[in-house]
Structure 1
Amino acid sequence: MFGERRCRVAAVPLLAAALAGTPLAIASTAPPPSHAASAPAVLAGSVPRLTAGTFADPPSTVRPKYRWWMPMAFTQDEQLRAELADMKAAGAGGAEVATTTATGPRASDPEFLAEYGWGSPRWAQKVQSMLEAAGRLDLALDFTISPRWPAIVPTVTDVNDPRASQQLVFSHAFVKGGTRYGGPLPTNYRPQPPGGARRTPIAVLLARCGDAACDRQAGGPRMLHRDSVRDLTGSVGDDGTLSLDVPGDAGDTYVLMGFFQTGDGQLRNNFTTTTPNYVLDHLSEQGVRATTQFYDSSILTPPVREALGAVGRVDLFEDSLELGTAQKWTWDFADQWERRRGYSPISVLPALTDAGSAGLTAAPFFDFTDGSGARIRTDYRQTWNDLYIDSRLVPLRQWANERGMALRSQAYGGPIDTPQAATHVDVPEGESLVFFDNIEPYRLVSVGAHLNGTPVVSSECCAARASVWATTAGGWQNSANLRSVYRGYAGGVTQVVWHGYPYLTKGEGTSDQAVWPGMSYGGNTSFSEAWGAKGAPNWPDYRAINDHLARLQLVLRQGKPTFDVALYLQDFGLRSPATTLTGPRTLLESDSPLAERGYTYEYLSPAHLRMPSAKVSDGRLFPSAGAYRAIVLADQKTMAVDTARRLLELARDGLPVVFVGELPSSTPGFHDAANQDAELRRLIAQLVARPGVRRVADLAAVPDLLARLGIVPAAAPTTPSADVLSVRRSEATTDYYYLFNQRSWATEQRLTLTGEGRPYKLDTWTGEITPLTDYRQTPHGVVVDVALEASDTAVIALSTRHDETFRWSAGEEHGPTVARNAGLGPVLLDDWTLQVVSWSRGESGLPGDTAKTTLPAVEPVAGERGALPPWSAITPANGYDVDLGDVSGVGTYTSTFTLDDSWGGVRTAYLDLGAAVDTVTVTLNGTRIPARSPQDLRHIEVGRHLRAGDNTLTVRVASTLVNAVRVAPGTGAAGRPRMDYGLLGPVRLTPREARQPTLAVEALERELPLAAGGTNQARVRIANNSPRPVSVSVDVTTDGGVEATVDRPALLIPGRSSATALVRLSGRRESGSSTLVIDAVAANGARGQAHVTLRHSDNLAVNTTGSPYPRVWASSYQYQHPPSFLTDGSAATYWVSGGHTPGQAPTPETPEFIGVDLGLATVVRAVGLSGRDNWAPRSYDVQTSLDGERWTTVLSVRDDAPNAGTTTAVTPTEARYVRLRITEGRYPTQPGHNTQLAEFAVHSADA
């Protein structure tokens, strides 16, 4: 019978196993294992204690790793050993082996794959060779779980293999009431099963439509009466036919539905010894055993196991799940659903039709009139999550640990409770590509390690699309590598795995991967990066960068993480900070009110509250882990009964609980919903009645409430600001603070750091630890001043230790020995000689054959205020005898300058290089200056190396390789944009401590946008380096078309202190650039000067300089399409709102907002929208405000015609804030997923 063939696991899988030629163990039907995380059997390396020695030279266990791509086993052992040695020399601590396909005429031949494919005997030999080489070099060596992701193995080659990924499909036919149906079941399958796939029956159902016209309905959902559903599975004959008397009468419409399980057909070919290879089932232990059995039989040979044991630090790594769009199912999904959710899903399967890979949609093909569909789909996601954890992560981790490996995993990419899943791996991992510029998702990943008590949270960094050969170390832009690394650290990351290091070549032939410069991931127009000796000229400088990161990672693994509060998160999926898979806002922004007040936090899943370690001691939840002092629930409308009961227990134990906005009033699941909802409301009523439970209207009220509860922020700024984010690691005698400026502009903060002892600066570039002398101790902690450049970091330790590591000294106090300055001031260096060694394709054209040619020296012509031309402008067309337009390489800039006798008394001085692309090393009078952060080229200390008389300064600048790659034959990169390389200046020397009093004047923003009719303000820091107070006068000059006024033209600056002056600017120019000059003169004769370049346009909103204003924002966005793209001046980048499934696009009831804060009020006369015509806003209101609270609508658009690319006049109004209230999008298919826009412009001139 058809119904008997519906059995969950049995006969069909056995046949497929025989076809695969592999023994198969059927999944157990025993009760599922507990979700409680167990302590890992293998830790990802021990944590060395931070000492003066380990900080100066960190051990390999805390050093970054490299993802190491290679074309399967089509490699040479000698080259593999050389590449590992190259990584070691660059400061790496390990590599992660990841295979790709090969190129060449034989690459897809069965004979070639049988010999060189992943899983072949030759591959096992390569694994052995790599492990042995890594062991000799004291490197960790990790392996991706299969040659590609999602996981495959050579033994699963049949779509009907039960270990292959499975999907749920359905068919349907509408029938009228009172009629008779006879014949085969409908075959209009959605989705259509792959060719050759068998259909395993799950259920045949009949249901009555809520609307008799549902058979004519063009789009979903077609509503069904749930109480009318009949299970007809047992009535289907052995021949697959059904005879049925349809109930009702001619006025009723019924639908007959068949539900089937099939292989989903997802393939990854040309990677292994066989073809095709089907993606494995990620929801069953059968899928796991396909991997583990193959490893045990074919890869982990005795020599490999011996080598693995010798290395001792090996991760089995699984990348994020990219399981396609099919709705996943598995052989025991229905049984597990019934066991876990308390009811059988069979009769409610219509609610899953067209629900997609995440089981989430606002427009399923069918749904129920009683509104139960959403709860049913939540139960699907919960079951999916449970099976992924219990049937994949748990057994995979156990198997890896038993073989001396740790399981490292990016546990997201499906309807997964990521914080929960992260506790079931040894090393949870995130990635900068998916998380992009958002910090919050890293917190979801890192909580797993924190609750497990393990030291490593990993990040795949720093892939950027279309950026291979072109990423820079420093900068605030998205392609800046250190910016991406630092953001991960701010979210809890403690290990970077660089993306990546390609093998020398990808194969044979003339493809762009088999000619110079060599292999890269995805080709020469694809993802970054291609590190290694064959790669960019800046590669040698990454030794200093990796040393720096190793010191940071050493700091970030000390002690344990300590947080102020936990945020409750009930969600399945990981998509964006404002809208995740389930729709509501569930993650904070990284500049939330909590961040503005300096509170540290991370996210807890409901599953975490069920862990045995979820206890309260001394008012702290998880006292041995995060030590959270309160839990905050923001607009949590749903909650399971057991979670509410657990929260009530925790509150009784003394944990403060804070509800923001609505209280939970319904349970998420379908089973016994009415009774469960009532019980939830009863428990919540008890909970909110407790004295330690508080409720506030919005998140902005939470910081003050926490303060009243005595919960002090870990790193509290004197003035609320989210510029600087902190990570606190605590041990018995020391609190370590990692501080990160998340802004694209410089910031200054006075912070009160929680902890005891004296403060120390840990210089992660030089390895030096020095005491801070300018601080103040208070009952709440230690007050320190922090100044950070854009996207830069600092580390401060508060310690009661007194040893060789934390040595206290009062420091030397050098004051001026004369009362007046007799002319000592900044020196502009604008006379340079440049010698470039060009890196280009060698004569053979083979991978790695790089010709390094010394070009004739040239004297760059500096601009009026010292700016130097990029190499792209040093061409014969511009009057030079050498052509550097398309040159990559290493440039050596030399300047010889003379300092008068007054400089003989200078003790400290800053060298300001302005800007440079990419990495720099500085030598002054024959002494190499220690490495400094590429985020801060303005404060390079050189004072003790200067002398009165002649001085010689050498600045070596190493470029990326893209300019050479784009003009080399055969690379396919001719369309890549040219980069501007070199020392760009202006270069200045500024005296600090000297015999004479000095004044240091510095513009915190070197560039500012200033549109016609608009305003902006420049911040100028003026430092008095004398121990005595001094009066300072400030004056400004501008070019034509700009007006400037200083807020405080006369200042009294205390001794050894600084003050910030604001220069208000207004502009009339619509294009080009001009210069603002700030002069400061002190009463003691000291003087200084700063310059700001003003970029002019007619758009008040555009911001290409990374300055504080204008500042754009959005109510939701997707990680890789943030609101900053709305005002970056590029039509190629665009903002996308948070929706991912039909029905999440904006509506009048749930509008989306995008807006811009102009910084200062100005008259707005027009707005412009451009780009993404097919997805752009269709209906919206333009609203303005002076305070960001009270809004006035100045234009309403209800337009069926495309309007992107037009500028529309609005009622002229004075405003600081301008926003769009979007109520309808132009999505190609309705209901829409989201809305999109490339540029949002605001104009002061008439349209």
Structure 2
Amino acid sequence: MNKWDSEQFQSPANRYRPKLRWWLPGAFMDNEEIKREIEWMAGSGYGGAELIHFFSIPPADMDPSEFNRYGFGGEEWNNRMKSALEAAIPLSFQLDFTVGPLWPIATPAVMDKNDERCAQGLHVGTALFEGTYHGEIPVPDTIDLERPRKLVAVTAARKFGGRTGKVMTLELETAAVLSSAVEGDHIEWLSPGDGEWCLFGFWSQTNLQMNDSIGAPVVDHYSRSAAKAVTDFWDDRLFADPDIRALYEKNAGSLFCDSIELNATMLGGMYGATPMAVTIWSPSVLEEFRTRRGYDLTPYLPSLFVKGLYQLGAGNRTDGDSEYDFEDRAVNRRIRNDFFATLTDMFRENHLRTLRQWTNGHNMKLRYQTYGMPTELASGLSEVDIPETESLGFKDSTDGYRLQSGAVHLYDRPMYSFEVGAVMGYGYKQTWTGQDFGLLWQLHRGYAAGINQAVLHGMSYETSSASGHFEALFKWPGLSLMGSMFSNEWGPRQPNARHTRIVADYIARTQYVLQLGKPKVDLAIYRYHIDGIHHGMGTELTSYEQAGYTYDFVSPCLLEETNVDVKSSNGLPALAADGPAYRAIVVDLREEMDEGGGQIPSDLPVETAERLIAFAEAGLPVVIVGEAPRHVVSLHGDREKLSLQDALLRERIVRLQSIPKVRHVQNREEAVKALQHLEVSPACEVCSGIPLLSARRYEEDVNYYYLYNPSSEQAFDGELRLAGNGEVYAMNAWDGTVRQLSAKGEEGCVRSKLRLAPNGTALLAVTRTWEGAFAKAAEYEAATGDIRIMPERWSLSVDSWTAGEHPTKTQHELIELELTELQSWTEIPELKNVSGIGTYRTSFRLESIPTKQNTVVLDLGRVSDTFKVYINGRELPAADQIGRRIPIGNFVCQGEENRLEIEVATTLNNALCADDRNRQPLECGLMGPVVILLQEGV
């Protein structure tokens, strides 16, 4: 557990610094260039890189007969990785490596697309009949008849008159397995009753999904033998040289996998696929299902075929009806829950555990984005060392990130990682500081949900030439392996890279604080829902956030952990007191839907209800929101057992509601009031001002707070009540300084005033004793000054970046202008399509500074993207790039002219507009108004 260290905050070690995705052109790299780029990243403030074998991109002058030597895991690849490790280790610059080349996971050890270790789908063929069926087992048109396929099962059921299934509804009690009647590909079977029946033939086949990086089929993510094929390849090829293996182990990085972008079939396409009635499959599903769930899935297989559910972007949810459902929706839902639970178990135990054990055996950690499939997210994270989420898939939603934060905290994972960036269409356009998908805007939201490690998306290796179809893409400012589809290139290609160190230091200091001690969270909100990448959770503040509460989502597997119980924390009951120390559980079963605004109940196992009773009887407040739980998660084998379990659950809920500290309310607004009546207050409560988001860490009587103003327009200007005793200290993540704030103590908490710009953040500590240097107590800084000075004339020198004689070369042109007003470069004819570094110069005079208490503040107004400030030739410490209000009292001279110089760096977007019709110029430069504020006698 990390403890506060002032020197570490001022100059954070690399382990606290942001990482950078590094897209590599296979083994077609130069050792010296590898070393140069690693040194640039380390020197610019990054703490590590995630190496991705993206595509093999041979140089234009290489003989194609040489290409095979450069494959993943080959001699040339291993030599390049050795060079990377030898360059990184002396710099303490940690390298992470993808499990295989690119993703989804594939390995050169499995190249046959029909290998049973490949990802698979289950297909269904149907035939209607009355009386006796005699003929071939139906084969669906989703099967590739030219490739091997395996008959998994044949079943039948009588049609039902209602309409639950989208294509057909079946009578549950008539479902039958016809294995004994099968002879080869034919079957003869007499139905036991009258009416129309449907015969189902279930066939499995590898899904033809390929890892484009090496042209290998994607492996089965539920199979232990497939996972072992991956690790065996590492042993046999990447670790064959003991010297290289020793470097990997000394580096002690992570093995990483991106989101699980699996399709049950490629027939409908890869992304945004045409919905198909094919389900994800693995050869041992039926056996594992029977062992784990206690009944046979075979007769119920028709209910698994929710069209499009098992394809990326096909637009369906786990809540939808199957093509072939039984007449009882309650049964169908629970059959699918049991299927999803089995997939979750197999993914966790066969895939993740195999990878983690191998990785840990080589002094590495497993970092994994475990979403993208119909699984229960929290369960899989028990086998992941560093869980990771992302801004793209979770749409910048704090609630989306919380789908994993409960598992991160209750499994006691010290790191919650964040793939940040990857905004569609923002290549060379995404800024550090903007509110239009600015990277810090995205990152700030993640920190508020418990994230404490950033991995930026990303940077391309600087390929010097390219052959084949990549040659057409090889244009200035270099070959971008993600193109302009996704942001961003955070390497040295863009002008704002000049200021990377300022932002990287800010991120590092913030992450240092967010890795101190243990997380403390106000509420645990119960949620059981099967997710791929979540839908419909939005970016608007929830009722709980508006009231100031922090919270995690928790699911049955977390609440049923044996070490999760109620103990005392600061004299009050808390769940997992040594961990997040939740002050209450909220059973909020509603799940917002993408379309139509409908809501569905979330299921609750009897065992979890019994845990809730135990928690409540131990004094933990419980609030039930909306309809109380009525349905269990599992079918338990048949409809009769399900009915008994549902009845037992309802009995448990009645008992739960009878406990004194349990409340049942109708909506989330009432839930907030109920929590207040139960004396469950947010650890960080806004007494006056707009809502803030927060995260809290605790170690040895020190409460650390991360505060974030999520408003894009309105500054926070108000008072806070913070849990803790002692004084309040503000830790400036921009320049590494600490100052004491004026505060008023109350019983168990303190009050202090604060101002935060839109999208601004603050780091505060509440403690009786501060370890380390700090400035004396400061009064609250008002938003305006008594005296305002506005420079009227500016000289502007622009270092304009344009294409050079080679795609990797940039030409520089100096443009000099005199300005009588500050405005965006897009409004200045000479700068409309210009990107680069702008240096603004002016002067101002302060006739007198009557008292030492006067505060002199430089307010820059609007700036895009990043900036540095110089006064009288002295560079100021790294300034707040979001608030842009900079104390300058120690730098100005009284009674004489003060020279002010502001250096502004832009993205490369505007310079690229001339050759890209899809781009539009964006506001950039210093737009102001720039004001010098003198605050009299504050």
Which of these residues, 154, 164, 186, is aligned with residue 241 of structure 1? 186
Structure 1 residue 764 displacement after superposition? 0.7
Contact 2:352 2:383 in 1 (8 A): yes
> Which residue is 1:873 aligned to?
827
Contact 1:166 1:281 in 2 (8 A): yes
Contact 2:861 2:927 in 1 (8 A): yes
Q: Distance in 2 between matches of 1:637 and 1:907?
A: 58
Q: Distance in 1 between matches of 2:621 and 2:544?
A: 16
Supply the AA of the counterpart residue of 1:235.
A
Superposed, 1:749-1148 pairs within 5 Å as 749-772=718-741, 774-805=742-773, 807=774, 809=776, 825-843=787-805, 845-847=806-808, 849-855=809-815, 857-862=816-821, 868-875=822-829, 883-901=830-848, 907-942=854-889, 944-967=891-914, 973-993=916-936, 1026=937, 1056=938
> Which residue is 2:176 aligned to?
230
> Which residue is 1:304 aligned to?
244
Supply the AA of the counterpart residue of 1:752.
R
SS at match of 1:159: coil
Residues 450/188 of structure 1: CA separation in 2 closer, same or farther (3 Å cut): closer
Please identify, of 126-135 and 643-652, the stretch whose mean Cα deviation from structure 2 is larger: 643-652
Relative contact order (alpha carbons < 8 A, sep ≥ 6): 1 or 2 greater? 2
SS at match of 2:392: helix
Supply the AA of the counterpart residue of 1:799.
T
SS at match of 1:749: strand
SS at match of 2:209: coil
Q: Distance in 2 between matches of 1:234 and 1:441?
A: 47
Structure 1 residue 895 displacement after superposition? 0.9
Matched, 1:733 2:698: no
* Per-residue CA distance 1:101-152 (angstroms, 9 max, x = gap): 1446989998555222222221122222211211011111100111111101
Contact 2:348 2:380 in 1 (8 A): yes
Matched, 1:656 2:621: yes
Residues 923/547 of structure 1: CA separation in 2 closer, same or farther (3 Å cut): same
Structure 1 residue 434 displacement after superposition? 1.6
> Which residue is 1:261 aligned to?
204
Supply the AA of the counterpart residue of 2:796.
L
* Per-residue CA distance 1:953-994 (angstroms, 9 max, x = gap): 1111111112223336xxxx342112232111222212114x
> Which residue is 1:571 aligned to?
529
> Which residue is 1:353 aligned to?
305
Query: What is the aligned-residue RMSD (CA, Å)?
Result: 2.6
Contact 2:574 2:583 in 1 (8 A): yes
Which of these residues, 123, 126, 149, is aligned with residue 77 of structure 2? 123
> Which residue is 1:463 aligned to?
422
Contact 1:735 1:798 in 2 (8 A): yes
> Which residue is 1:183 aligned to?
135
Q: Distance in 2 between matches of 1:85 and 1:986?
A: 38
Which of these residues, 680, 683, 707, is aligned with residue 652 of structure 2? 683
Please identify, of 535-544 and 795-804, the stretch whose mean Cα deviation from structure 2 is larger: 795-804
Supply the AA of the counterpart residue of 2:11.
D
Structure 1 residue 780 displacement after superposition? 3.9
Matched, 1:665 2:630: yes
Structure 1 residue 423 displacement after superposition? 3.1
Residues 897/463 of structure 1: CA separation in 2 closer, same or farther (3 Å cut): same
Supply the AA of the counterpart residue of 1:341.
R
Structure 1 residue 427 displacement after superposition? 0.5
Contact 1:469 1:530 in 2 (8 A): yes
> Which residue is 1:879 aligned to?
none
Q: Distance in 1 between matches of 2:464 and 2:283?
A: 39
Contact 1:903 1:947 in 2 (8 A): no
> Which residue is 2:276 aligned to?
none
Structure 1 residue 575 displacement after superposition? 4.1
Residues 798/814 of structure 1: CA separation in 2 closer, same or farther (3 Å cut): closer
Q: Distance in 2 between matches of 1:490 and 1:173?
A: 54
Contact 1:836 1:892 in 2 (8 A): yes
Contact 1:916 1:957 in 2 (8 A): yes
Superposed, 1:624-643 pairs within 5 Å as 624-635=578-589, 638-643=603-608
Contact 1:904 1:948 in 2 (8 A): no
Contact 2:99 2:257 in 1 (8 A): yes
Structure 1 residue 719 displacement after superposition? 4.4
> Which residue is 2:154 aligned to?
204
> Which residue is 1:613 aligned to?
563
> Which residue is 2:287 aligned to?
335
Q: Distance in 1 between matches of 2:465 and 2:127?
A: 52
> Which residue is 1:193 aligned to?
143
Q: Distance in 2 between matches of 1:293 and 1:109?
A: 31
Structure 1 residue 181 displacement after superposition? 3.1
Q: Distance in 1 between matches of 2:903 and 2:896?
A: 23
Which of these residues, 421, 424, 440, is aligned with residue 383 of structure 2? 424
Residues 660/905 of structure 1: CA separation in 2 closer, same or farther (3 Å cut): closer
Contact 1:193 1:264 in 2 (8 A): no
Higher radius of gyration, 1 or 2: 1
Contact 2:527 2:602 in 1 (8 A): no
Runs of 5+ unmatched residues, structure 1:
1-46, 580-587, 816-822, 863-867, 876-882, 994-1025, 1027-1055, 1057-1247
Query: In proportion to residue count, which structure has more helix?
Result: 2
Matched, 1:692 2:661: yes
Which of these residues, 484, 500, 509, is aligned with residue 542 of structure 1? 500
Structure 1 residue 905 displacement after superposition? 8.1
Which of these residues, 352, 362, 368, is aligned with residue 409 of structure 1? 368
Please identify, of 92-101 and 696-705, the stretch whose mean Cα deviation from structure 2 is larger: 696-705
> Which residue is 2:88 aligned to?
134
Q: Distance in 1 between matches of 2:513 and 2:699?
A: 11
Supply the AA of the counterpart residue of 1:959.
T
> Which residue is 1:221 aligned to?
167
Structure 1 residue 649 displacement after superposition? 2.6
Structure 1 residue 209 displacement after superposition? 0.9
Structure 1 residue 682 displacement after superposition? 2.0
TM-score, scaled to structure 1 = 0.69
SS at match of 1:892: strand
Supply the AA of the counterpart residue of 1:646.
R
Supply the AA of the counterpart residue of 2:807.
L
SS at match of 2:495: coil
> Which residue is 1:443 aligned to?
402
Q: Distance in 1 between matches of 2:928 and 2:497?
A: 23
Contact 1:637 1:665 in 2 (8 A): no
SS at match of 2:454: strand
Supply the AA of the counterpart residue of 2:840.
Y
> Which residue is 1:553 aligned to?
511
> Which residue is 2:543 aligned to?
593
Runs of 5+ unmatched residues, structure 2:
266-278, 311-316, 590-600
* Per-residue CA distance 1:286-306 (angstroms, 9 max, x = gap): 221121111111112312221
Matched, 1:294 2:252: no
SS at match of 1:675: helix
Q: Distance in 1 between matches of 2:104 and 2:688?
A: 48
Contact 1:911 1:989 in 2 (8 A): yes
Aligned residues: 893
Contact 2:27 2:70 in 1 (8 A): yes
SS at match of 1:519: coil
Contact 2:739 2:778 in 1 (8 A): no
Q: Distance in 2 between matches of 1:449 and 1:507?
A: 43
Superposed, 1:1193-1204 pairs within 5 Å as none
SS at match of 2:243: helix
